[in-house]
């Protein structure tokens, strides 16, 4: 199981510069995933102590194994970063808070997690399969056509949101359930005319899948609530590093950083414009193509 970390060199460079002179920096990796960032931080900053957070219990188990050799320099905590204030409070304050939002390749490539339109599996999409969130199948089963259309449009920017939502509702009336990712892909493929699908330039189900994933995991509210907590966890000079993968997330980060700087006078935005991956990285790693890195430093 692998996940190639995105913008890793750039993230490490910001950490190295900002943590220069701190012998044992305390760092939160708020989206541990497979531990790619954490491993490079622990290797690259020999005094660093990392506290990893992830809401996916599989990610926690895998990275605990991967990072075992760092012994007491690394610890993992299970939970959503929306509640990070309470999750890591005992170890605060921190010198760096790092977040690499979205899903990992591990989640995307495991068919039974239901995130991928490329692998057939149950329509699940919960990052924490033991949590209270409804599965994607339950959302499609229970929400009205109007609500589904809103979800597809707001979180996926899907132009055909109404058409897709009303087809889902009419299928439901006929007693047909969408139970698998394949069922949903087939419905979308069967609905959109072939020339439209060709013109989309992306997989025709990509936007609906993104929208459902954001809704199921309440991703934007988690992000807002995490940002709200960060000032309370930051040591003086703490650097906040966030990589986002779509404009909804990036906008929230950008506005919050700006408010911290201009209105609340908490510190300084270090990235006037977001940092994007080099062409060489996007050619090697498809997931990197939409990544944006923003950095803030608390004074």
Cα→Cα distances 230→75, 223, 225, Å? 19, 11, 9
Nearer to ligand SAM, 18 or 104 (CB): 104
Shortest CB 53 distance to ligand SAM, Å: 6
Question: Are residues 99 and 38 in contact, defined by beta-carbon separation less than 8 angstroms?
Answer: no
Nearer to ligand SAM, 5 or 204 (CB): 5
Shortest CB 54 distance to ligand SAM, Å: 4
Q: Token pair of 17, please?
A: 């510069």
Nearer to ligand SAM, 25 or 33 (CB): 33
Residues 138-197 touching ligand SAM, rule: CB under 6 A, are none
Q: Is 275 left (phi over 0), alpha (psi -120 to 50) or beta?
A: beta
Residue matched to tokens 């919050």: 256
> Is 114 a binder of ligand SAM (CB under 6 A)?
no
Residue matched to tokens 């995991």: 217
CB atoms within 10 A of CB 63: 25
> Is 115 a binder of ligand SAM (CB under 6 A)?
no
Instruction: Please choose, out of 98-106, 112-120, 135-143, 192-200, the segment that lies near ligand SAM by the rule CB under 6 A.
Output: 98-106
Which of 48, 51, 74, 102: binder of ligand SAM (CB under 6 A)?
102
Size of the site for ligand SAM (CB under 6 A): 22
> Is 277 a binder of ligand SAM (CB under 6 A)?
no
> Is 52 a binder of ligand SAM (CB under 6 A)?
no
- Taking alpha carbons only, the member of 13, 2, 3, 1 closest to residue 278 is 13
Helices in the chain by DSSP H: which ranges?
8-19, 36-44, 57-66, 84-87, 105-109, 136-142, 145-156, 161-173, 181-191, 194-200, 206-216, 219-229, 247-262, 279-284
Nearer to ligand SAM, 184 or 216 (CB): 216
Instruction: Please choose, out of 16-24, 48-56, 132-140, 251-259, the segment that lies near ligand SAM by the rule CB under 6 A.
Output: 48-56
Which of 25, 33, 114, 204: binder of ligand SAM (CB under 6 A)?
33
Which of 104, 161, 181, 210: binder of ligand SAM (CB under 6 A)?
104
Shortest CB 99 distance to ligand SAM, Å: 8
Rounded Cα distance, 127 and 113, in Å: 8
Rounded Cα distance, 132 and 197, in Å: 35
């Amino acid at each position: 199981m692998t996940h190639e970390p995105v913008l890793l060199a750039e993230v490490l460079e910001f950490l190295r510069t900002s943590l220069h002179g701190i012998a044992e920096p305390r760092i939160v990796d708020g989206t541990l995933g497979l531990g790619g960032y954490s491993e490079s931080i622990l290797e690259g900053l020999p005094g660093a102590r990392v506290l990893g957070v992830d809401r996916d219990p599989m990610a926690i188990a895998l990275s605990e194994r991967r990072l075992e050799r760092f012994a007491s320099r690394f610890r993992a905590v299970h939970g959503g970063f929306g509640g990070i204030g309470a999750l890591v409070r005992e170890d605060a304050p921190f010198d760096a808070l790092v977040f690499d939002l979205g899903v990992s390749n591990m989640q995307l490539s495991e068919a039974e997690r239901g995130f991928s339109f490329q692998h057939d599996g149950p329509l699940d999409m919960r990052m924490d399969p033991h949590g209270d969130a409804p599965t994607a199948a339950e959302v499609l089963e229970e929400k009205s056509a109007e609500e589904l259309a809103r979800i597809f449009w707001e979180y996926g920017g899907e132009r055909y949101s109404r058409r897709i939502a009303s087809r889902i509702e009419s299928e439901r009336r006929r007693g047909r359930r969408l139970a698998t990712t394949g069922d949903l892909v087939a419905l979308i493929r069967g609905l959109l005319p072939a020339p439209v699908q060709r013109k989309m330039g992306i997989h025709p189900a990509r936007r609906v899948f993104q929208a459902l994933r954001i809704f199921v995991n309440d991703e934007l509210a988690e992000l807002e609530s995490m940002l709200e907590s960060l000032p309370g966890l930051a040591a003086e000079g703490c650097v906040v590093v966030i990589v986002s993968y779509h404009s909804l997330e990036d906008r929230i980060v950008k506005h919050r950083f700006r408010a911290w700087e201009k209105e609340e006078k908490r510190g300084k935005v270090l990235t006037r414009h977001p940092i994007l991956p080099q062409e060489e990285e996007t050619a090697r790693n498809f997931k990197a193509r939409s990544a944006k890195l923003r950095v803030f430093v608390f004074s």
